[in-house]
Chain A
Amino acid sequence: GAVVSQHPSWVICKSGTSVKIECRSLDFQATTMFWYRQFPKQSLMLMATSNEGSKATYEQGVEKDKFLINHASLTLSTLTVTSAHPEDSSFYICSAPGQLFNEQFFGPGTRLTVL
């Protein structure tokens, strides 16, 4: 199956700083990628849809100025958490659709801890 990578796998930062998370489709092109957030022992919640060459679409309640998404190429989407606060600490996971009907491939996730 298709492979999606994320970098870094974990990051610790101080409150008020910004953190960038990369999501790459390794062996296929993805004009669309999705960013999810997962709090401990909870389900995955969609944050935004990343679209190559256009603006991202954010879900209701997600601050677009705080969570900046850039889909720079057909294989790379980045999520930047700006002015991070402890409540932003979470597991961030990206996914990309494959070639077959609706299938999606998930990255390994990035654990963000804001001190």
Chain B
Amino acid sequence: QQQVKQSPQSLIVQKGGIPIINCAYENTAFDYFPWYQQFPGKGPALLIAIRPDVSEKKEGRFTISFNKSAKQFSLHIMDSQPGDSATYFCAASPTGRRALTFGSGTRLQVQP
């Protein structure tokens, strides 16, 4: 049973645009929500993460918005660049050093 649903599956934006990727979770025990970026043939790299006690977090061009009541969170990429073209995964885990449950991934293409 998929516990983290991610959309869209793919996304194409122009350079400078603001792609938005959405995730929804079911397990109320989740309290850590990271986003990972993955390039082909590479392992995922942590971009930004949030805990449910805040509604928004910004790090550089990346922003997470979090809606605890709706059990949804999203990633916004400001001023997107062709180098941002990659697959993005949302994930979630409960408290403690627990494994991550990943969303299905979003393939982002930023056109020059």
Contacts and interface: CB of A to CB of B under 8 A. Distances in A.
A43 B93 contact: no
Nearest to B97: A97
A105 interface: yes
Given A34-B99, A46-B99, A101 B32 contact: yes
Given A34-B99, A44-B44, A97-B97, A103 B89 contact: no
Contact of A106 (B44, B49, B51, B97): B44
A54 interface: no
Interface string A78-115: 00000000000001010101000111111111010000
B42 A109 contact: yes
Interface residues of B, number: 25
Interface residues of A, number: 25
Given A43-B105, A101-B32, A106 B99 contact: no
A32 interface: yes
The majority secondary structure among interface residues of chain B is: loop
Contacts of B43: 4, 6, 93, 106-109
B67 to A, nearest CB: 20
Interface in A7-65: 32, 34, 42-46, 49
Contacts of A106: 36, 43-46
A49 B99 contact: yes
Interface in B81-96: 89, 93, 95-96
Contacts of A107: 43
A32 B97 contact: yes
Interface of B: 31-32, 34, 36, 41-46, 49, 51, 89, 93, 95-105
Interface of A: 1, 4, 6, 32, 34, 42-46, 49, 91, 93, 95, 97, 101-109, 111
